[in-house]
Amino acid sequence: MSKKNTRIVISGGGTGGHLFPALAIADALKKIDPAVELLFVGALGKIEMDKVPAAGYKIIGLDIKGLQRSFTTDNLKFPVRLIKSLLKAFSIVRSFKPDVAVGVGGYASGPLLYAASLKGIPTVVQEQNSYPGITNKLLAKRAIKICVAYEGMEKFFPADKLMLTGNPVRQDILEIGGKREEAFAHFNLSPEKKTIFLTGGSLGARTLNEGVLNHLEEFKDGNVQLIWQCGKFYYNSLKEKFNEQDYPNVKLLEFVSRVDLAYAAADVMIARAGASTISELCLVKKPAVLVPSPNVAEDHQTKNAMALVSKQAAILVKDEIAKSELIPVTLRLLNNEDKKQKLAENLGKLALLNSADVIAKEILKLVKR
């Protein structure tokens, strides 16, 4: 009787911050064991349902959503969605028969990891942030291993389960050296001009977008150009607000699929302070102005950003003043070569390398066990 291939299920998503580490872990597993069988479980209607198949992996969606902070009729449907998702998760576990279940955060990881743990399947939680979400806090009680990106996480998780791994990032981001010429050609920008890459994440960030709108004239004729990932919620309305032909130095994009080229082109970054973004900045060593989102649990993005700011590795602009101050602060940084170099050096000292490989090897150890 032939030995069956190792089977791993990876659950979670909802945002790029959860999804891209999951894809990096999957790629690392495939690199170590090309025969491994991988299945993703995500939330219907979320980013993973498109991006996972595009990356070459199979995904099954659960009809699960989180509770809204304010009362909505959607909240009344939560118990029904949760029960349906749990039943489907048990069905997935029975049919796929994973050797290990991995949760990366997000609503879908809850039902899947809970079902797997009840069936005696070892589970791994990967927590990206300095302040964990409620799903991962609950799942950690049943997990065998909890992979984290920040020190001091024993405040939230059992210390004997913790492993400091850093956050996995996509392989293409680690390979931006020598891509500047390709990058400027890809975005149709000038290699002679200084370049800012702004990203509000896959969904976009209203404050960052309004900060640019308030200072568009800075990019009209100057020696500065902008790669502007505005997010799918804002793209159509922003296209109506300015004529791109009047602003050849501005490349407005709903989503940057070749983020490696955006990093390669950038002299300075503007971003929210999500955990994946922080990890990427440390690895690519790009000076950044961070605007933590105020709309996250326990203000964890400010904590993420301060982990860099306290080491003189980034600049923080508060959300409430970003509409007026973001672009002026960024332009001052862009023109300060000493400051940029210092930030880049300090970022490099904070990088945790090979996170995806480390996590993948830990997952495969559980299979052997």
Is residue 2 included in any domain, yes or no? Answer: no
Containing structural domain, residue 176: 172-350
**What share of the chain in percent tops pLDDT 70?**
96
- Tell me: do 159 and 209 sit in the same domain: no
- Tell me: do 130 and 177 sit in the same domain: no
- Tell me: do 152 and 187 sit in the same domain: no
What pLDDT sits at residue 308? 94
Is residue 1 included in any domain, yes or no? Answer: no
- Tell me: do 148 and 203 sit in the same domain: no
C-beta of residue 26 within 8 angstroms of C-beta of residue 38? yes
| Binding-site annotation: residue ranges | 15-17, 129, 170, 202, 301
Q: pTM for this one? A: 0.83
- Tell me: do 345 and 358 sit in the same domain: no
Helix axis angle for 300-309 and 337-350, nearest 10°, is 110
What pLDDT sits at residue 16? 77
Query: For the chain, what is the domain count?
Result: 2
Residue 145: what residue type?
Answer: K
For 45-66, write each residue's pLDDT tens digit.
988 999 999 999 999 999 887 6
Compute the distance between CA of residue 43 and CA of residue 57 in angstroms, rounded to an integer. Answer: 15
| Binding-site annotation: residue ranges for UDP-N-acetyl-alpha-D-glucosamine | 15-17, 129, 170, 202, 301
Compute the distance between CA of residue 24 and CA of residue 30 in angstroms, rounded to an integer. Answer: 10
For 151-181, write each residue's pLDDT tens digit.
889 999 999 999 999 999 888 888 898 999 9
Average pLDDT over the chain reads 91
- Tell me: do 140 and 249 sit in the same domain: no
Mean pLDDT, range 251-271, rounded to an integer: 95
What pLDDT sits at residue 260? 95
What pLDDT sits at residue 232? 86
CATH number for position 100: 3.40.50.2000
- Tell me: do 180 and 197 sit in the same domain: yes
List strand residue ranges (DSSP E) for 81-201, in order: 100-103, 123-127, 145-148, 162-164, 194-199
Compute the distance between CA of residue 230 and CA of residue 213 in angstroms, rounded to an integer. Answer: 11
- Tell me: do 183 and 321 sit in the same domain: yes
- Tell me: do 265 and 192 sit in the same domain: yes
Q: Which segment of 68-77, 134-143, 176-185, 293-302 scores lowest on mean pLDDT? A: 68-77
